[in-house]
Amino acid sequence: MKKKIMDKKTFFKLIKQGIPKELPPAPKKNPNLDHAPAKKHNLTVNEKKLALENALRYFPKKTHAKLIHEFSEELENTGKIYMFRYKPKYKITCRSIDEFPHKSSKAAAIMLMISNNLDNEIAQHPEELITYGGNGSVFQNWAQYLLTMKYLSVMTDNQTLVLYSGHPLGLFPSNENAPRVVVTNGMMIPNYSQPQHYNKFNALGVTQYGQMTAGSFMYIGPQGIVHGTTITILNAIRMKGKNNKKLKLFLSSGLGGMSGAQPKAAKIAGLLSVTVEVNKKAIEKRHSQGWVDVIISDLDELVVRVRKAQELNKIEAIGFNGNIVDVWEKFYAENIFIDIASDQTSLHNPFDGGYFPNKMSFGEAVKLIKNDHIEFKKNVQRTLREHVAIINKHVERGTYFFDYGNAFLLEAKRAKAEILNNDGGFKYPSYVQDIMGPLCFDYGFGPFRWICASSKDSDLEKTDKIAQKTLEKLIKSCEKEISLQMRDNIDWIKSAKKNKLVVGSKSRILYANSDGRIAIASAFNKAIKKGEIGPVIIGRDHHGVSGTDSPYRETSNIYDGSQFTADMAMHNVIGDSFRGATWVSIHNGGGVGWGEVINGGFGMVLDGSKEAEINLRDMLHWDVNNGIARRSWARNKGAISAIKTAMKKEKLLKVTLPNIVDKDLFKDF
């Protein structure tokens, strides 16, 4: 029987209500959804009492006697308090901004983005408010969601909502050009930013892991990383691909969240791919969405399928339900050559379900996480050692393996795998070191994205055409050194609709530099003013040119020692906030893990106004060129060239350039 859709009046009333005064019905887990693995909290008796007290402060005193036992049970069973009882009964999905109660259209746009992040079709573990990455949270609990949506429904353009790791501190007076929302996630005192600290303070309900676009409300499904993955694979083939005529094979693992982009990206790049996933629900979800063509769970059948595809030259996205180490070993034994390989399991969260050991079933491993965490950790690290050992064997045969920024190299080193070379560095490069850094980030190309706030397919089609036309105009006068990047972008946007990338919001990802982002956003704003399309939300992944300081990923191709500093990310979010961003966020953790990265992002609503035009030009110019300037100072050749070009185009831009030292001077040192 089809579920009755809630009428608009009732929906508006529930949003404006916030936390209900009366207790909602007791919670029931949806068995059809993928749930976050339960973990054991590390709180003392007194800390557990504090966690309960912290949770109960959201609710009327008359409910405390009942809720305290329920929340205590949640804490013991799951490792934290999600407040499942307060998950709303209405469908959380990406609606048009007109379908949210609001006084500020910008606040409504943020409600749209929050709802997209928590949609059952989008989120990895929607009932636990986790969008992707195993622990990338939008909020810590359902009370925070309810309060935030209430605040957004009543706020004006002279107020700013402050969010502390999901907790809505409140609405504060500001002004029209100030951000409507300021988000921080996981911002800890440095000495309290280790993984064991995260488990404790998250269980206490005082911080969360916002990943990148989960806690900043800018996730657009696996499409969000598919363009970057396509660029990476395309350029890996250009750089390292063998000159044989056989269809090239890409092997990787992970299909839960952002990693779901891999099979689609490989297919767009013209490769046969095998993507391995241990979680049956995750792989079935990607199959139902068309991101993998077929699911196989038998290794012998997989070998036959791969050989047949190569024989027929059939580009295919194969999903294998099993453990990645088993596939590597089987392919080695069967002499199947892997051209390009990586890993996108959630190794930023290796011991709580981000990476699963071999030699046991998925169900057995999930139970072990909670029942014997130490044993689970031992098995994860054993598997990592085996994983690296078999990769090394394939690499000796000619496979090109790269780290895709998920902390694979870092955790393999911690597991004492054979991952280091004779100089003490990693054997394998981060994809940013070999590809994304020198080809894209140094020239200002990064994951620009937009979302049609009308939620209309027709608006997305129109914005695709506007972006394509804009890029085709820009490529005629672009610098020779970025012509390949521009051509790849044009090819990408021309094929975007055909590639069926949309899951959830009517959105698009496009790697663009400063000139491209400004020109496209300006063209959108003009089209909105003319009434050709509805409002558009622009933003980007935190993973990019300027928003993230991460020595094992985004800034891994910076070699002056500053890759371990976080000035760039902090300056970026501050600069965006006073240049017209609708909302800004800054996070600890994301991609490679808690304590390993500082990253930030923004969202901006384009409404066709003169103010939006001024803001998009000011903010997008800063948002890109801040990072290029930093990369230039690190002596990155491409960035030096790019920032010189930027200074010629904008006379108000004055950047300190490095003087290159002659290496011969160091002969006597």
Res 244: pLDDT: 62
Are residues 114 and 241 located together in one domain of the fold? no
User: What CA–CA distances, in Å, run from 500 to 84, 295, 451, 497, 613?
Assistant: 34, 19, 15, 5, 31
In a domain, 650, yes or no: yes
- Within 634-658, residue ranges assigned H as helices are 637-649
> Last residue of some domain: 429, 464, 496?
429
Is the model's pLDDT at 471 over the cut of 90? yes
d(CA 388, CA 247): 25
Is the model's pLDDT at 254 over the cut of 80? yes
Are residues 460 and 584 located together in one domain of the fold? yes
Are residues 442 and 576 located together in one domain of the fold? yes
Are residues 538 and 600 located together in one domain of the fold? yes
Residue that wins the pLDDT comparison between 34 and 5: 34
| Nearest CA-CA partner of 47 in 163, 208, 199, 210 | 199
> Last residue of some domain: 429, 445, 479?
429
CB 580 within 8 A of CB 618: yes
Are residues 338 and 200 located together in one domain of the fold? no
In a domain, 2, yes or no: no
In a domain, 665, yes or no: no
Res 382: pLDDT: 97
Tokens of 512: 């663009």
∠ Cα 58 62 64 (to 5°): 55
Q: What is the pLDDT of residues 104-146, one digit of tens each?
A: 999 999 999 999 999 998 899 999 999 988 889 999 999 999 9
Average pLDDT over residues 309-314: 94
d(CA 618, CA 612): 10
Are residues 459 and 589 located together in one domain of the fold? yes
Are residues 41 and 173 located together in one domain of the fold? yes
In a domain, 19, yes or no: yes
Give the CATH number, domain containing residue 529: 3.40.1770.10
Q: What is the pLDDT of residues 33-64, one digit of tens each?
A: 889 888 889 899 999 999 999 999 999 999 99
pLDDT band (50, 70, 90) for residue 444: very high
Are residues 413 and 450 located together in one domain of the fold? no
CB 171 within 8 A of CB 155: yes
Are residues 34 and 83 located together in one domain of the fold? yes
Sign of the dihedral defined by the CA atoms of residues 541, 197, 410, 276, in that order:
negative
Are residues 614 and 487 located together in one domain of the fold? yes
pLDDT band (50, 70, 90) for residue 259: low
How much is the pTM?
0.90
CB 508 within 8 A of CB 517: no
d(CA 649, CA 587): 32
Are residues 641 and 500 located together in one domain of the fold? yes
Q: What is the pLDDT of residues 396-428, one digit of tens each?
A: 999 999 888 788 998 999 999 999 999 888 998
| Nearest CA-CA partner of 536 in 512, 509, 507, 516 | 507
Q: Specify which residues 605 forms β-bridges with.
A: 537
In a domain, 133, yes or no: no
Res 183: pLDDT: 98
Sequence-ordered strand ranges (E) for 590-654: 598-606
Average pLDDT over residues 646-663: 96
In a domain, 214, yes or no: no
Q: What is the pLDDT of residues 205-223, one digit of tens each?
A: 999 999 999 999 999 987 8
Q: How many domains does the chain have?
A: 3
> Last residue of some domain: 429, 445, 474?
429
Is the model's pLDDT at 1 over the cut of 60? no
Range of the domain at 77: 8-121+139-204
Are residues 97 and 237 located together in one domain of the fold? no
In a domain, 612, yes or no: yes
User: Buried (b) or exposed (e) across 88-102, using 16+ Cβ within 10 A?
Assistant: beeebbbbbbebbbb
The average confidence (pLDDT) of the chain is: 93
In a domain, 592, yes or no: yes
User: What CA–CA distances, in Å, run from 219 to 97, 138, 357, 622?
Assistant: 17, 10, 28, 22
Give the CATH number, domain containing residue 269: 3.40.50.10730
Q: What is the pLDDT of residues 481-529, one digit of tens each?
A: 999 899 989 989 988 888 888 888 999 999 999 999 999 999 999 999 9
